[in-house]
Amino acid sequence: MTSPFPSAPAVASLDPEELRSWMTQHEDLTVLDVRSAAEFETMHIRGSYNVPLPLLSEHTDELAARLSSRVVLVCQSGVRAEQARQRLAGAGIDTAYVLTGGAPGFVAAGGDVVRGRARWDLERQVRLVAGSAVVLGLTGGRFVSPRIRLLAGAIGTGLTFSAATNTCAMGKALSAMPWNKVAEEPTREAAILQLPTRNASAGKLQAS
C-alpha cells in the first residue's frame, strides 16, 4: 500500500504553473504565506494562510504538527520562504516547497490572488533604505566629513552579512514600522490555530 505522504522532494522549489494545477487537484494542499501581515493584506494567493516568518520561527513545532502532506511556502522572492522551509525541515516536515518567484511570480503566471491596500513590499523598502544610506554616506563623505563614508561601509558590510547568513536585520526592523502594521497582527491563535489539522486533511482525502 502506498503511503499518502510523498517522499522528500528532489527539489525544494515549485513552479507557479504547477501550484495552480495542484490547487485544483489536491485537497491536502496548504499554501503558507510567510510575509508580513501588511504584505499579505496588499496581495496574496487566494486560499493561502498568513503565518509571518517570525511567528513561524517561534511556533515551528506546533505549526508542523498541523500541516498537511503538501505544503507550499510563499514570500516575495523566495528568501523568507526558504528560511521557513529549513525550519520546518528541522521539525520533521520534509515535503515543503518554496514557490519560485514568490507571490509576484504567481501573479505573472495568471494565478488567482486577493488584492487590498497598496503598499511597498518589505524587500523593496530594504533596497530603498540601504541605497539611500549609501548615497548619503558617499555624498556626506565628499562634502561634509570623510568619516561619514563609514555609513556606506557599514551598510555594505550589513548587506554582505545578510547574504551570507540568509537573514535581514533591516527587514526585521522595517517590519515593525507603523506603515507596515495592520489593524490586527497575526497571533498564534489567529494564524496557526486556524489551520486544519493533519488528521482533518486526511479525512477529507478519504471522503473524496
Q: Rounded mean pLDDT of 47-72? A: 92
User: Which residues are 96's β-sheet partners?
Assistant: 71
Region 152-176: mean pLDDT is 70
Write the burial class of residue 109 (CB in 10 Å: 0-12 exposed, 13-18 middle, 19+ buried).
middle
Candidate from 75-79, 101-105, 195-199 with smallest mean pLDDT? 195-199
When the pLDDT of each residue in the chain is averaged and rounded to a whole number, the result is: 81
Only one residue has cell 509571518, namely 52
Residue-level pLDDT at 112: 96
Closest CA to 185 of 174, 197, 176, 172: 176
Give the list of residues 6+ apart from residue 115 with CB closer than 8 angstroms, or none.
Answer: 42, 43
93-151 pLDDT, tens digit each: 988 999 999 999 999 999 999 998 776 677 777 777 878 878 877 787 777 777 777 77
Between residues 48 and 142, the one the model is more confident about: 48
Confidence band of 6 (pLDDT split at 50, 70, 90): very low
Ranking 100-109, 143-152, 177-186, 188-197 by mean pLDDT, the lowest is 177-186
Position 67 pLDDT exceeds 50: yes
Phi, psi values for residue 123, rounded to 5°: -65, -35
18-46 pLDDT, tens per residue?
999 999 998 889 999 999 999 999 999 99
93 with 86: CB under 8 angstroms?
no
CA distance from start to end of the chain: 18
What pLDDT band is residue 162 in, cutting at 50, 70 and 90? Answer: low
Quote the pTM value. 0.67
